[in-house]
Structure 1
Amino acid sequence: MNNLSFHITDITANSIRANASEIGLHIEEQDAQIIIRITDDGSGMDEETVARITNPFYTTRTTRKVGLGIPFLIQNAEQTGGAVSITSKPGKGTEVAASFHSDHIDCPPWGDLPGTVAMLITGNPDINVRFEYQAGKTTFSISTNEIKEILDGIPLSHPKVMLLVKEMIRENIRP
């Protein structure tokens, strides 16, 4: 995973597979630190599973025998002097929080954060994705439910909606 947006895509894909109806994506940039927190109300995991998901040779998926998303996230965060924490409860959901030191030479670039968030929102119309971004005095938030209300019946899957959401995010955040 060579950028932060890929990590967000991977973790939120886990939330979708866990049948989440709510996904929160909170990003905070302060000083030289990036904090990414992803929460969901999906099926959650027991303590044993949480302990095992940091192992690249453990996965709950049946289509392959390795699960590299969390181990790569941990590696990338720790390379910058940051860390990852994972908390989860069966039937309640999961929270993954990662911190990165953005001034470290090994900090991955953002990639296409606006495109990633727009695709997450428009590609999963049955999930309320809440995106919050904060950097200094800049704050921006948007959710699937808010967009649906504004669109008043226009489907999220319409290609122009995806472009609109992406541009709205791009204009309001700084990465």
Structure 2
Amino acid sequence: MNDLSMHIIDIVQNSISAGASRVVLSVDENPDADLLTIVIKDDGKGMTREQVSRLSDPFFTSRTTRKVGMGVPLLIQTARQSGGDVRIESAPGRGTSVTATFGYSNIDRPPLGDVANALMLTVASHPEMDFTFHYRYGSAEYDFDTSDVREVFGDDAVRNLTVLKNIEEMIKDNIREIRKS
């Protein structure tokens, strides 16, 4: 995967496949601590301890359409090669939390990529779901939630591509402004 936003899409897709109705994505860029942290939490069906322990195995997958599941093993490899790691917490009926850390300045860390676009592609593909995005750079923060969009503009707003494109640009602008501060 070329950048970390591709890993985000993959893990969020796992959340969707697990029946989640809400996904929370947090991205924390902390150059002073030399740390990039990505957290994806969902309210899906969750996993047993055995399932969680097997996630690093590329030949373990819950899918019936293929016999391999490379998403989580690739994320683990990417995190570890850049001085970080991945922690997965889950329980049946309680959802799943995936926390990936990366050495911020590590030469082997892929770029973050276009997180705003990744988020909007996911929202456009699953407008019935709620998505929360929390972004932090140093001490500056920004939050976005699709439930706020629905509350202000109505339920169909997240189905409107013009609205989604405007939201994507708003998220990009906010990230850009926060990085300047």
Query: Secondary structure, in 3 states, of the residue corresponding to 1:42?
Result: coil
Output one character per residue of 1:137-173: Cα deviation in whole Å (capped at 9) or x when no partner: 3211011100112223543121101211110100011
The residue that corresponds to 1:46 in the other structure is: 48
* 1:67 corresponds to which of 50, 66, 69: 69
Alignment of 1:37-116 (within 5 A): 37-116=39-118
SS at match of 1:173: helix
In the alignment, is the contact (CA less than 8 A) between 2:149 and 2:157 conserved in 1?
Answer: no
Equivalent residues of 1:138, 1:173 under 8 A apart? no
Residue in 2 aligned with 1:152?
154
In structure 2, distance between residues paired with 1:120 and 1:132: 15
CA distance in structure 1 between the aligned counterparts of 2:172 and 2:62, rounded to whole angstroms: 35
TM-score computed with the length of structure 2 as normaliser: 0.92
- What is aligned with 1:17? 17
Structure 2 counterpart of 1:169, which letter? I
Task: Judge which range, 51-60 or 150-159, deviates more.
Answer: 150-159
The alpha carbon displacement at 1:121 in A equals 2.5
Task: Name the residue aligned to 1:5.
Answer: 5
SS in 1 for 2:38: strand
What letter corresponds to residue 131 of structure 2 in structure 1? V
The TM-score with structure 1 as length reference comes to: 0.95
Moved more, 151-160 or 107-116: 151-160
The unaligned stretches of length 5 or more in structure 2 are: none
Structure 1: gaps spanning 5 or more residues: none
- Could you say what the CA RMSD is over the residues aligned between the two structures, in angstroms? 1.3
**Distance of 1:153 and 1:65 partners within structure 2:** 38
Secondary structure of 2:157 counterpart:
coil
The equivalent of 2:122 in structure 1 is 120
Residues 1:169 and 2:168 aligned together? no
Three-state SS of the structure 2 residue aligned to 1:166 is helix
In the other structure, the counterpart of 1:129 is 131
Q: Which runs of 4+ in 1 moved over 4 A?
A: none
Paired residues, number: 175
Q: Which amino acid aligns with 2:30?
A: Q
CA distance in structure 2 between the aligned counterparts of 1:106 and 1:154, rounded to whole angstroms: 41
CA distance in 2, matches of 1:153, 1:85: 34
Q: Report what 1:143 is aligned to.
A: 145
Partner deviation per Cα, 1:54-88 (whole Å, 9 max, x = no partner): 10011111111110000000000000110100010
